[in-house]
Amino acid sequence: MNAISSRILDQHTAVRRVLPNYRSSRWTIADALKVRTDDPTTTMPVIDYNFPVMSNDVMIWDSGTLRDMHMRTVTYKGWFVLWSLAVDKIDKTNAKIYDEWHSRNDRAYIGYWYSADGVEWTWGGRLFQTSADLRPWEWSGSLVMREGSENKVDMFYTSVGAPDGNSVPAVCSGTIHADDKGVWFEGFSASTEMFKADGVYYANASEDAYFDFRDPQPFINPGDGELYTLFEGNVPGMRGQFVVGSDEMGHVPPGYAVDPGAQYGAAAIGLSRCVSNWRKGDYSRWELMPALVTALGVNDQTERPHFVFKDGLTYLFTISHHSTYTGKSTGPDGVYGFVSEKGIFGPYKPLNSSGLVLGNPSSQPYSTYSHFVDAQGYVQSFIDTIPAAGQNAESPDTYRIGGTLAPTVRLVLDGDRTFLTEVHDYAQVFAQVAWPTSLAYDVRA
């Protein structure tokens, strides 16, 4: 037996141990047929063309609050903290900013903000030392206070931009510090890769040139107290050779015919379990597990997946695009979600029947993206583009670029339904846990 097949066998054994008789849940074509744009309970508020910006020096997009391993937003010594993907605004003329914004992924780095009140933010600059970069770009992940520690912080992120096209979830660690003037970080000088796309549970570059494998969101599973991570992946298999059958279709109306292009949608919400001694800060070994939810036949991207644990239910949120729906399925850019009554392994059903939780309004279809729902239902997202008045909403000639956070909104999570109920300030953060906190478990264990 060669090294690869013995590794795959090991993974299957590990998965059977944790998940006997496991099957991924599905987001079906029939579910997606129920998506309705502009329903007021599942639609982001219209953003004012004259929105305020957090900084004149940087443009930011995917962002997240400092959190704990239970998905709760924390303050550190009273300070609110956010990380963001960022690019520097070099030339501040409008024309140049358009180029800088639209090519931003090829220069993205992770920076941070701090705030005394959760509303007014100060840009703290780069989080990592350049020695931490395994590849040229830093993409999404999560900034987490280490369980049981006074001030250790771990940035789980995606290392991207190497010529081989691989994107690799990685972790870089340091410490957080604060005084009465602000917050700063130390360390963050070296990264460790977590795991790679295997082509068995998740598509890799040789199966799918457009494969996604990124955005780690680790958490302690309330069910077994172990450390797992969610991430964005794709269903394994050769691109263009999937068969969309009755499982992927769901309960479609009579006569529904699957569009042949539907099979190009092969998104998967990935799961992996940490098998190194994470209680001592060792995040080096993980075992990939089968996807929690797949969207074969529906959509090719389920990005930044993350959990909310509430009322004994497990809410699984993910962001997706209008442009990544396939076949005849369609829906807005926004955040989608699923709920399980039996813990993280599901089965999951789509929230609001369709899966749509918050989409952009049809008058501003690309207003916001990269929504992150926290444990109290507050949702941050960034402003992408806002069309000028009177422009064609889908392809405006004149639009304003965001690069800053949108108004924070709040969701009520009520069983398998969600409702937009509150709209707060731009970039507003509400915290749940004050750190340093009482230690969640004995670190000597």
Query: Token pair 């850019």 is at which residue?
Result: 333
User: What mask of x and - would describe binding to ligand FRU in positions 272 to 311, judged by CB under 6 A?
Assistant: -------------------------------xx-------
Q: Which of residues 46-75 bind ligand FRU (CB under 6 A)?
A: 62
Is 416 designated active site?
no
| Per CB under 6 A, 215 contacts ligand FRU | yes
DSSP 5: H
The minimum distance between CB 106 and ligand FRU, in angstroms, equals 10
Of the candidates 187, 173, 269, the one whose C-alpha atom is nearest the C-alpha of residue 228 is 269
Catalytic residue among 303, 333, 374, 384: 303
Q: Which of 67, 214, 306, 400 binds ligand FRU (CB under 6 A)?
A: 214
Q: Which of 68, 100, 232, 287 binds ligand FRU (CB under 6 A)?
A: 232
Q: By CB under 6 A, how many residues form the interface with ligand FRU?
A: 14
| Per CB under 6 A, 318 contacts ligand FRU | no
Query: Token pair 């496991």 is at which residue?
Result: 22
Is 287 designated active site?
no
Q: Which of 24, 73, 75, 158 binds ligand FRU (CB under 6 A)?
A: 158
Instruction: Output 138 or 248, the one with its CB closest to ligand FRU.
Output: 138
Sheet holding 168-178, edge to edge: 137-145, 152-160, 168-178, 183-193
As a whole number of angstroms, the longest Cα–Cα distance in the chain is 66
| Per CB under 6 A, 370 contacts ligand FRU | yes
Give the C-alpha separation, 46 to 83, whole Å. Answer: 25
Of the candidates 362, 269, 280, the one whose C-alpha atom is nearest the C-alpha of residue 35 is 362
Give the C-alpha separation, 382 to 370, whole Å. Answer: 7
Nearest 5°: CA angle at 189, between 186 and 194?
115
Q: Which of residues 81-120 bind ligand FRU (CB under 6 A)?
A: 85, 105, 108
Query: How many Å separate Cα 75 from the centre of its chain?
Result: 21
Q: Which of 115, 140, 221, 314 binds ligand FRU (CB under 6 A)?
A: 140
The minimum distance between CB 416 and ligand FRU, in angstroms, equals 25
Query: Token pair 């937003």 is at which residue?
Result: 73
Backbone angles phi, psi at 206, to 5 degrees: -75, -20
Q: Which residues are catalytic?
A: 62, 303
Residues that bind ligand FRU (CB under 6 A): 62, 85, 105, 108, 139-140, 158, 214-215, 232, 303-304, 369-370
